[in-house]
Amino acid sequence: MHDFKFKKKRLFAEDVDLAQIVNNVGTPAFVYSRKTLLDRFNEIKNAFKKIDPLICYSMKANSNLSICKLLVKEGAGLDIVSGGELYRAKKVKVAAKKIVFASVGKTDEEITEAIKSNILFFNVESISELKRINVIAKDLKKKQKVAIRVNPDVDAKTHHYITTAKKQNKFGVDIKTTNSIFLTYAKKLKNIDICCIHIHIGSQITTISPFVQAVKKTVALIDGLNSKGACITHLNIGGGLGIIYKDEKPQTVEQYAKAIMPIIKNKGLKLIMEPGRFIAGNSGVLLTKIIHVKETSVKRFYIIDAAMNDLLRPAFYEAYHEIVATKKTKGKKKKSADIVGAVCESGDFLAKGRQLPDDLKQNDILAVMSAGAYGFSMSSNYNSRKRAAEVLVSGKKYQLIRRRESYSDLIRNEIVVNI
């Protein structure tokens, strides 16, 4: 599953004792396992090897340059959603023809930069955007390949904040609109080539049927469009594969591949995928120190030096992360506690009512598991807190891949005026 395991009562990342990282780097710190990252990427690659898809790692899950570089060197393309992610993609020297660009609100500046960079596809989310890409491509004297992001209206059966393919969601265009785009614009807009259909139905999806439903609907749509003269050569099925945070039993990637590949067999379509969480989620932990143990008349709080600004998922979606002490304590007795940060919000918690060893104390280190995806990348400076350090472990070695922010980092772009 992943490479964070107890050896003689101490938690290790691969062959590195996490206590060593805490001593040298401090807390809070995200620690990633190189091996888990590569294993997860290669699991997908192997499961789909018969059809050799383009696997564009979804940078939003974790866009640290070292992590992206590691995956790019292993053969990944990148799924980006902003000019900032394009900038990062270029820094890790991914081939431009392995970049796909989604987002409901691409600005002219972002579109221009991406066309100039020769990216593979824009995943287009509205007619307005389609026209804009055409105008900008014309100005640049280019013809740009685009995918239409179709909203197939399937229920991904996941948290409503990460459901993206219901009619009510802001993402993509519905099937009817997709048909009319081909009728009305495909020939008229001379500087775009609509040759891909893209779907992404949500994230942390643990059952296979929503994927199957969505891909079947999309392939039927492509068949229909191609029979009417369109030339759709690519299908992008997005990301969304769920992982184990607690006791979920998600489909394996092999089961996923076995369900998807027959649907697209003999269709002559090149498959693109955009996994994020599946690759990065269980590849990272967040190390944090207990600052205070606070007992009230109703409960115990462990107040830690990480907070919602470091890992937003619990506050944002009430997401569950397993939390363990990095050193097994002697005490067998467990006690329920809330694990909270120092941010001035009642919503600032990493866990509630969690059974933890009764003898945990000040300065003990906790590991928040499965924090590799949507952890650091969603972090902020709220309450003027410095963002955490990031560390990459490989076997017996580890390296800092992002320095902890300093106070001067916090005010770097501010201008103090006299008014």
The footprint of ligand PLP (CB under 6 A) covers 58, 60-61, 79, 102, 200, 203, 238-241, 274-278
Distance separating the N- and C-terminal Cα atoms of the chain: 57
* Smallest distance, ligand PLP to C-beta of residue 44, A: 10
Q: Which residues contact 415 (CB under 8 A, 6 or more apart)?
A: none
Residue 37 or residue 61: which is nearer to ligand PLP going by CB? Answer: 61
* Smallest distance, ligand PLP to C-beta of residue 198, A: 7
* Smallest distance, ligand PLP to C-beta of residue 210, A: 12
How far is C-alpha 53 from the geometric centre of its chain's CA atoms? 19
Residue 285 or residue 373: which is nearer to ligand PLP going by CB? Answer: 373
* Smallest distance, ligand PLP to C-beta of residue 263, A: 19
Residue positions counted in the chain? 419
Q: Which residues contact 328 (CB under 8 A, 6 or more apart)?
A: 6, 9, 10
Cα three-residue angle 59-71-253, rounded to 5 degrees: 85
* Smallest distance, ligand PLP to C-beta of residue 53, A: 14
Instruction: Return d(Cα 245, Cα 288) in angstroms, integer.
Output: 18
Instruction: Return d(Cα 45, Cα 51) in angstroms, integer.
Output: 10
Question: Pairing state of beta strands 10-13 and 349-357?
Answer: unpaired
DSSP string, 30-87: EEEEHHHHHHHHHHHHHHTTTT--EEEEEGGG---HHHHHHHHHTT-EEEE-SHHHHH
Tokens 């363990």, located at residue: 324
* Smallest distance, ligand PLP to C-beta of residue 22, A: 28
Q: Do residues 351 and 314 make contact, with C-beta atoms less than 8 angstroms apart?
A: yes
Residue 85 or residue 305: which is nearer to ligand PLP going by CB? Answer: 85
Active site residue 196: no
Using Cβ positions, the residue closest to ligand PLP within the complex turns out to be 239
Residue 40 or residue 354: which is nearer to ligand PLP going by CB? Answer: 40
- The tokens for 314 are 């619990």
Instruction: Return d(Cα 402, Cα 392) in angstroms, integer.
Output: 9
Residue 77 or residue 238: which is nearer to ligand PLP going by CB? Answer: 238
- Sheet containing strand 10-13, strands side by side: 4-7, 10-13, 16-17
Tokens 């619990």, located at residue: 314
Give the H or E element holding residue 234.
strand 234-236
* Smallest distance, ligand PLP to C-beta of residue 113, A: 19
Residue 125 or residue 348: which is nearer to ligand PLP going by CB? Answer: 125
Instruction: Return d(Cα 368, Cα 379) in angstroms, integer.
Output: 15
Residue 274 or residue 305: which is nearer to ligand PLP going by CB? Answer: 274
DSSP string, 37-52: HHHHHHHHHHHTTTT-
Catalytic residue among 195, 196, 231, 344: 344
* Smallest distance, ligand PLP to C-beta of residue 14, A: 23
Amino acid identity at 118: N
Instruction: Return d(Cα 215, Cα 283) in angstroms, integer.
Output: 28
Residue 135 or residue 378: which is nearer to ligand PLP going by CB? Answer: 378
Query: Which residues are part of the catalytic machinery?
Result: 344
